[in-house]
A = this chain, B = another copy of it.
Amino acid sequence: MTITQLKYVLMVAEYKNFTKAAEKTFVTQPTLSMQIQKLEEELAILIFDRSTKPLKLTAIGEKIVEQARNIVNEADRMQDIVDQQKGYIGGDFKLGIIPTVMPTLLPMFLMTFTKRHPKVRLKIEELNTEDCIQKLQEGHLDAAIAATPLENENIKERVLYYEPFVAYITESHRLYSKKNIVVEDLDLDDILLLEDGHCFRDGVINLCKASKKDTTDKFQLESGSFETLIKLSNEGLGMTLLPYLHTLDIKDKEKKYLHYFKEPSPAREVSIIQHKSELKPQIVNALYDVISGIVRGAIAFQDVKIISPVK
């Protein structure tokens, strides 16, 4: 059994296809066939059931793959150990960021981070929470920034900051005159929401459900960006809720529509998350340090109540 063979197994298990896995691995297909056969022979079991298309893992194959991932992860960590000892922070790093965090947070920390750690080649991808989790588990992402807690035992979370919800309420809304609003004021029926798939949407729904017993699940309008929600709100189509960092670059004349919650303000917890095997810890630490440092300057500490981001 070699580490190379195990990596081949993982690739075939992922692509469910020797030919495609071979391409991605930059070897020829017979190489995979032979090496995986050798491993199957050594272990005296079949890892893959090739009789179906696409091929599938055998029962024992599932366990083999799980253990192969353990071994490969432990092997990858070897380089981490060396890098850490050398104080070296560099190499490729694939970071996922959820859409509602991306546009505000990324510009805040990216310049600082790349200046401080020039040898790290960050590859940033906008992904929703679900995709982040899956890609972390498959090893296609090194870490992600998402709203937490996720309660996924394969994922480790490190809280970066707590971001209060801020209400955006225009003149035509019943709550406009109220300076500090409370959760109980909210009514899901007149709140503009992001489209399905955004965890911020789920957070808002959880928030409203916590305040009122029943909600008629007929949402009026849905959009993919806060900018649209603000415009719709300006047209008198309802209020909306924004994460605090989004309120920082709002137009001056719209600022009067921002209504802050009475403390403890509902807030989302934003964390850097990674697979439990905690690979590339130096880079994750570096990201954590830079981001939490920068955000600490942008969000004044206040008493918050964390809203769950999951359905």
Contact = CB atoms under 8 A, between A and B. Distances in A.
Nearest to A78: B67
A7 to B, nearest CB: 12
B81 A74 contact: no
A44 B78 CA distance: 12
Contacts of A63: 81, 85
What's the interface size class on A, roughly? Answer: 20 to 34
B78 A60 contact: no
The quantity of this chain's copies bound in the complex is: 2
B71 A85 contact: no
A211 interface: no
A299 interface: no
A82 interface: yes
Interface in A55-70: 59-60, 63-64, 67-68, 70
Query: Which of A2, A60, A63, A85 has the most CB atoms of chain B within a 10 A radius of its CB?
Result: A85
Contact of A71 (B43, B59, B68, B71): B71
B59 A67 contact: no
B85 A60 contact: yes
A64 to B, nearest CB: 7
Interface in A215-249: none
Given A2-B3, A3-B2, A71 B78 contact: yes
A75 interface: yes
Contacts of A172: none
Interface in A92-126: none
A36 to B, nearest CB: 14
Interface string A1-21: 111100000000000000000
Nearest to A68: B78
A306 B266 CA distance: 51
B45 A75 contact: no
10 contacts: A1-B75, A1-B78, A2-B3, A43-B78, A45-B85, A63-B81, A67-B77, A67-B78, A68-B78, A71-B78
Interface of A: 1-4, 43-45, 59-60, 63-64, 67-68, 70-71, 74-75, 77-79, 81-82, 85-86
